[in-house]
Chains A and B, each alone.
Chain A
Amino acid sequence: MGVECFKADLHIHTCLSPCGHLEMSPRKIVESALERGLDIIAITDHNTTRNVRPCVEIGDELGLYVVAGCEVNTQEEVHCLCFFPDIETLEAFQEYLDAKIPDIANDPLLFGYQVAVDKDDAIIFEEKRSLFTGICDEIEGLQQQVDSLGGLFVPAHVDRMKNGIFGQLGFIPPGLRYDALEISRRVNYGDFLRSHPALVRERILQSSDAHMLEQIAAVHTLFYMERADWNSFSNAFGKQPHNRGMIKIPIGDG
């Protein structure tokens, strides 16, 4: 089977994230992604997965591969992207989150409403706990949880001081396993590597971290793989002994 090139933006928030704009509804996100030529997106709300299902369903309808994900804020306040094989493993992960989220009330006036919606944008749930804070688990504990569910673990926006792994923890903890590192849309890939020469052999993603529709696909990562499904996708991260995929940030972007 041949290898094709897929355009991916793997860091997108919905209206459920405290800072996600209310316009970020599942349908609008999927439609915007398709309009901008993306083949794959990941839905990664802060500390919650409750808006992923409608995005996956609309993606199935309209022909966009939507990876089930989450952006978790660890106890050290390091943001980490987590990607899961399917809705079942994602729901198991939600149970872990529910047990680890501190019971601090969200203030909608300061941080916005945290609402989950259905496929038709009807509000079906409001998360009352703040999704903004660090969970009660170390970064290693989170990584092990994701790994046990067969997921992928990617420290987010590592170029940023605020909530990036280098800013918070100084360096990548020895022994921490991860599948890639993500850089933000604010940095140029080449410049980033020049300032972090030790990371030249790392698998690096660049994604938009979109909180508003216009930010979707601001940057993207290319996946060279057989098809847009979990098997090919996780293979591209070297999850299988015979790595069939390749991940590349297009030159000139960022």
Chain B
Amino acid sequence: MVKPTLEKLTEELGFVCLSGRSWLERIPRSAYVSDLLSDVMGKASDGMVWVTSQVHRNIVAVASLKELSAIIIVNERPVTNELLEQAEREEVVLLASNLPAYETVGKLYNYLENRE
């Protein structure tokens, strides 16, 4: 089966793209869930989608450092313009989910695992 791009994933799972629209052709490789940035720096690997409720600007730097394919912010947490601008500058895709982490990850798991 063809691996889906971020664009397809965003569309099919009902996420909203907040920044990094130009990099939606990336193909995500698995996912990681954590709200501790130190944990993500230690444990996530490149290509992963990162699901979190943190909205501090440091998430962009962590995603960029770890070469993650995207960040999904859950629960419609409000984000600042500074966060969006920094994500755009650092080529980080930010997606928003209107669901809590559990439901978001459930949908994501089914979607990514059934495709692979």
Contacts and interface: CB of A to CB of B under 8 A. Distances in A.
Interface stretch (A47-55, A113-121, A164-172): A164-172
Listed residue (A139, A166, A170, A173) with the most chain B CB atoms within 10 angstroms of its CB = A170
B38 A138 contact: no
B58 A173 contact: yes
A170 B37 contact: yes
A138 B56 contact: yes
A3 interface: no
Interface residues of A, number: 14
Interface in A135-152: 138-139
Contacts of A139: 56
A170 B41 contact: yes
A57 interface: no
Contacts of A161: 36, 38
Contacts of B35: 77, 168
Nearest to B56: A76
Contact of B37 (A75, A138, A168): A168
Q: Is the interface of A mostly helix, strand, loop or mixed?
A: loop
Interface in B35-56: 35-38, 40-41, 54-56
A169 B34 CA distance: 11
Interface string B44-74: 0000000000111110011000000000000
Contact of B58 (A75, A77, A167, A169): A169
Contacts of B61: 170-171, 174
A180 to B, nearest CB: 20
A170 B57 contact: no
Interface in B1-17: none
A166 to B, nearest CB: 6
A166 B38 contact: yes
Contacts of A171: 37, 58, 61
Contacts of B36: 161, 167-168
Contacts of B62: 170
Listed residue (B35, B54, B80) with the most chain A CB atoms within 10 angstroms of its CB = B54
A173 B37 CA distance: 12
A169 B62 CA distance: 9
A138 B55 CA distance: 9
Interface in A180-226: none
Interface in A35-66: none
Contacts of A77: 35
A174 B57 CA distance: 9
Nearest to A166: B38
B57 A173 contact: yes
Contacts of A168: 35-38, 54
Nearest to A162: B36
22 contacts: A75-B56, A76-B54, A77-B35, A139-B56, A161-B36, A167-B36, A168-B35, A168-B37, A168-B38, A168-B54, A169-B37, A169-B56, A169-B58, A170-B37, A170-B38, A170-B40, A170-B58, A171-B37, A171-B58, A171-B61, A173-B56, A173-B58
